[in-house]
Structure 1
Amino acid sequence: MLNPCSIWDRLDTVPEVGDGRTAALLTALTCEDNAPFAVRHFRPLPGEIAGRLSIDTQSSSAAGPSGTVERGFDVDQTNRSVVVGERVVVKWLTPPAPFPQPAPDVFAHLTSAGFTATATPYASVSRRGADGTEVLVALVTAYLPEARDGWEWCVDEAAAGRTGFAADLGVLAAGLHAAMATPSPTFPDPVRHAVPVPAPAKGSWWLRADEALREALALTGGEDGDWLAERSGALRAGLAPLAAPAGAGAETAGTPLIRVHGDLHVGQVLRWRDGYAVIDFDGNPTVTGADPFQPAARDLAQLTTSLEHVGQVAIRRRDAPGPMIAEWAATARAVLQEAYLERLTALGHAALLDRSLLGAFEIEQECRELVYAARHLPRWRYAPMGVLRSQYP
């Protein structure tokens, strides 16, 4: 049998599914000398996985007494995820992502805070270059059996008119935010407070949202673009609460800020055999240079708007009646937000939510959806436009 630590010499390219290098990586996570790679541990691997893996000396394929095998996911992904032994997932970043990257620190923090409503994080793997730079190569987490993301299971709920799930989402989001606000060795000071920033100033919430609106107006053409332009004044007026953080002043603390998920929509919430799990703490791929400390309302607004998008998907793909979906979305939103605030209060963190910001962040999010559609997925435009048309008739 080969020395498990020799796998580090064979990671010059991203492993293919089934070539054994992903399983071999799991055996090498505890090696003392991984240079030029570095391993950061969060929790031990499941014992049955750690004990079953080996490296075949002839084929370098993953094999063991119980026939441990690798397989991929039957979905399109930006990165390459490999399931090993039906217990562990290794997400290979393609290409490796330059640091700073939020996921490793967030994994360490959530582990310390005792947050378990996610795929259990086991380790991260990075590589250091000769010039001192570091890139994130892989993330190792638990595999969640029978998992479906919200663009599948939540659309089923919308088409059926069911809203009971929304309370579970609210509780999940509140638990995540309460955990983010809990001190840990990784984030010893996890809560900050907004300070007054003049609305036009660089870095202000209002400017960021206004720029999103301007981009949406510039990139959305045709009848949708004309409709959007006619309502640009109303949309910009809706951003006004972001011009000065609520409560911010010379002598008072401003809105509480925490490290938010940053891309919290139903697609990041898996429904699996044992419940719900929030995943993907890599940040928002459409926003660069954003401060990781944001109001909790930003996450909640994005999660809420994603319910509206689910409704639009149900109308288009499941022929769900528009009036029924409008009622479904309104009810689901209300249930989610009520459950969120109740759970946040029960956890002693009610002050984290500044409700005055929700509407403005929702407008900003719809603008970002339009920008994303224009730049990456034109067919997606119908979803944010359907929401805006229903809200600004």
Structure 2
Amino acid sequence: MSEAVTRTVTTPPGLLASLDPLLREWLPRQRWFAGKGHPVTGFSLVAATELLPPTAKLGLYHLLVRTRQPLQPGGPEQPGDCYQLFIGVREALPPRLAPALIGHVTRGPLAGLTVYEALHDTRPAELLLEALRTQARIGGLRFERDPRQEIRSGLVPRLMTVEQSNSSVVYGDTFILKLLRRVLPGTNPDLELPLALAREGCPRVPPPTAWLVAEPGVAPGPPPTEPYVLGVLQPFVQGATDGWELALRELAKGEDFVAEARDLGRVTAEVHTALARALPTVTLGHAQLRTMVVGMTERLEAAAHAVPALRPYADGLRSAFTALDDLAAEGRVWTAQRVHGDLHLGQCLRSPAGEWSLIDFEGEPARPLAERRMPQPVVRDVAGMLRSFDYAARSVAPAQPDWAVRCRAAYCSGYAETAGRDPRTDPVLMRAYETDKAVYEVVYEARHRPQWLPVPLAAVHRLATTDLI
């Protein structure tokens, strides 16, 4: 193994001020920016690390910046999210990097230079892998790795273009480095859970090879108590197809997806079983369920206020939550454990050999980190996958709801084969979780993809009028 590299760095004063006007324009245009709809009025610097000093050819800065955004026009500024940025610096961009342009700096320490999204550039991406390989410490950044796994040097990087909430770089079809864009101090489940599963020897989740963290106290002011997890390097499943693409392909050909759905159910149960061995489980009684039901009900009320099309169904949907509360009040208890938290077909990869893997254990990024790390009934993940089958079946013309019904049944059957318990035997809990997910989908589609709104509304109609899954 290469010897670890430790390097103390300094960053020029006024760096963020010189980038501020360019970042205000560029950041809201990024697909992973979560604050769309509210203008960025400024930034505060959480941390800045000079990874390559700016020269005539290339410089590289790693920034953690917190946005300031008013919630209403003319209203007071509110502290926003913290984002991880990789800022490349050149005198001029070659044509191949034109899509990565952030802008031309007119003042401050980088005046006269061009800045750009550095992950598009081969050299900065290579530097990140080398830092992970050598377990470098650069300023407040720690590049850590599993010493049992080899990282070869010289792997050619390429930035993936299909990411939404994060960014990923593939190295020579050997590794994939997922870089979190919106970051928080604390243990991120996207590293925590795959590490736990690797310790259990679970083959269904690629084991973390290396990871990048920022130490607490890198920012001025009171330091956070835990580091920021910034990125995770894992083996790349070469030639894999994600479950969403595969399902749409089979739908287009008129082929069934029952066998694949059953396999996915088995794999989900296998991962759940390994997580229950690796991490503590808890029992949820009425008090805990009551808190959960209140949260679901509040999300429904907010959604009905925001999306008028949901209002006719509000009473029927609310009954899904009150039925769960009533069952808990009668003394029913449930086991909760760590789960995936945002499971759907797009989070499943099938290798050319036909083996399934689950990826992206970050959970729903919009939810607080502490909530994403809470134990949940496994039905939460099951409900997410059932909703995904519905989405696939209704994304084609004409819609094929019977296809979804068959897939849902096969998935639950496969889950039962491995777990020893069929999730359909708990219909009240299943209906509550699927209803909560459908309500979330209604709000998302109304805001971002109105043409897709009929998909979750079809589920809303079913869930509001029946307690069957």
Q: Give the alignment's TM-score, normalised by structure 2.
A: 0.67
Q: Which residue of 1 aligns with 2:109?
A: none
8 Å contact kept, 1:205–1:243: no
Q: Which residue of 2 aligns with 1:26?
A: 129
Note the aligned Cα RMSD (angstroms): 3.0
Describe the shift of the 1:235–1:392 C-alpha distance in structure 2 as closer, same or farther (beyond 3 A): closer
Q: 1:191: Cα distance to partner?
A: 1.1
Partners of 1:236 and 1:368 lie apart in 2 by 14
1:67-120 deviations in Å (ceiling 9; x for gaps): x31112232433221111210111122244432422221122111111121233
Describe the shift of the 1:42–1:337 C-alpha distance in structure 2 as closer, same or farther (beyond 3 A): farther
Q: 2:401 aligns with which of 326, 341, 347?
A: 326
- Higher alpha-carbon deviation: 146-155 or 81-90: 146-155
Q: 1:358: Cα distance to partner?
A: 0.6
| SS of match in other structure, 2:122 | coil
Partners of 2:367 and 2:346 lie apart in 1 by 18
Describe the shift of the 1:198–1:122 C-alpha distance in structure 2 as closer, same or farther (beyond 3 A): closer
Partners of 2:131 and 2:200 lie apart in 1 by 27
Describe the shift of the 1:269–1:280 C-alpha distance in structure 2 as closer, same or farther (beyond 3 A): same
8 Å contact kept, 2:194–2:206: no
* Unaligned segments of structure 2, at least 5 residues: 8-48, 52-59, 63-85, 87-117
Q: Which residue of 2 aligns with 1:5?
A: 5
Q: Which residue of 2 aligns with 1:260?
A: 339
1:131-167 deviations in Å (ceiling 9; x for gaps): 5332222111111112232332112233424122110
Describe the shift of the 1:12–1:135 C-alpha distance in structure 2 as closer, same or farther (beyond 3 A): farther
* Unaligned segments of structure 1, at least 5 residues: 54-63
Q: 1:285: Cα distance to partner?
A: 2.2
Which letter does structure 1 place at the counterpart of 2:435?
Answer: I
Partners of 1:33 and 1:121 lie apart in 2 by 17
Which letter does structure 1 place at the counterpart of 2:376?
Answer: Q
Q: 1:276: Cα distance to partner?
A: 1.6
1:46-72 deviations in Å (ceiling 9; x for gaps): x4xx34x1xxxxxxxxxx4xxx31112
Q: Which residue of 2 aligns with 1:383?
A: 455
Q: 1:244: Cα distance to partner?
A: 5.2
Partners of 1:245 and 1:293 lie apart in 2 by 20
Which letter does structure 2 place at the counterpart of 1:277?
Answer: S
Of Structure 1 and Structure 2, the greater strand share is in 2
Partners of 2:425 and 2:121 lie apart in 1 by 46
Q: Between Structure 1 and Structure 2, whose CA radius of gyration is higher?
A: 2
Partners of 2:263 and 2:145 lie apart in 1 by 30
Is 1:139 the equivalent of 2:236? no
Partners of 2:297 and 2:245 lie apart in 1 by 32
Q: 1:104 aligns with which of 162, 187, 191?
A: 191
Q: 1:240: Cα distance to partner?
A: 2.6
Describe the shift of the 1:382–1:42 C-alpha distance in structure 2 as closer, same or farther (beyond 3 A): farther
Describe the shift of the 1:354–1:388 C-alpha distance in structure 2 as closer, same or farther (beyond 3 A): closer
Q: 1:168: Cα distance to partner?
A: 0.9
Partners of 1:313 and 1:80 lie apart in 2 by 26
- Higher alpha-carbon deviation: 88-97 or 207-216: 88-97
Q: Which residue of 2 aligns with 1:56?
A: none
Identity %: 26
Q: Which residue of 1 aligns with 2:12?
A: none
Describe the shift of the 1:255–1:89 C-alpha distance in structure 2 as closer, same or farther (beyond 3 A): same
Q: 1:344: Cα distance to partner?
A: 0.5
Q: Which residue of 2 aligns with 1:58?
A: none
Q: Which residue of 1 aligns with 2:95?
A: none
Partners of 1:353 and 1:193 lie apart in 2 by 18
Which letter does structure 2 place at the counterpart of 1:12?
Answer: Y
Partners of 1:38 and 1:376 lie apart in 2 by 36
Which letter does structure 2 place at the counterpart of 1:148?
Answer: T
Is 1:172 the equivalent of 2:276? no
Partners of 2:447 and 2:366 lie apart in 1 by 10
Partners of 1:9 and 1:21 lie apart in 2 by 12
Q: Give the alignment's TM-score, normalised by structure 1.
A: 0.79
Partners of 1:248 and 1:257 lie apart in 2 by 18
Q: 2:376 aligns with which of 294, 314, 317?
A: 294
Q: Which residue of 2 aligns with 1:195?
A: 285
Q: 2:358 aligns with which of 264, 278, 301?
A: 278
Describe the shift of the 1:246–1:272 C-alpha distance in structure 2 as closer, same or farther (beyond 3 A): farther
| SS of match in other structure, 2:365 | coil
Partners of 1:29 and 1:132 lie apart in 2 by 25
Partners of 1:143 and 1:79 lie apart in 2 by 16
- How many correspondences in the alignment? 349
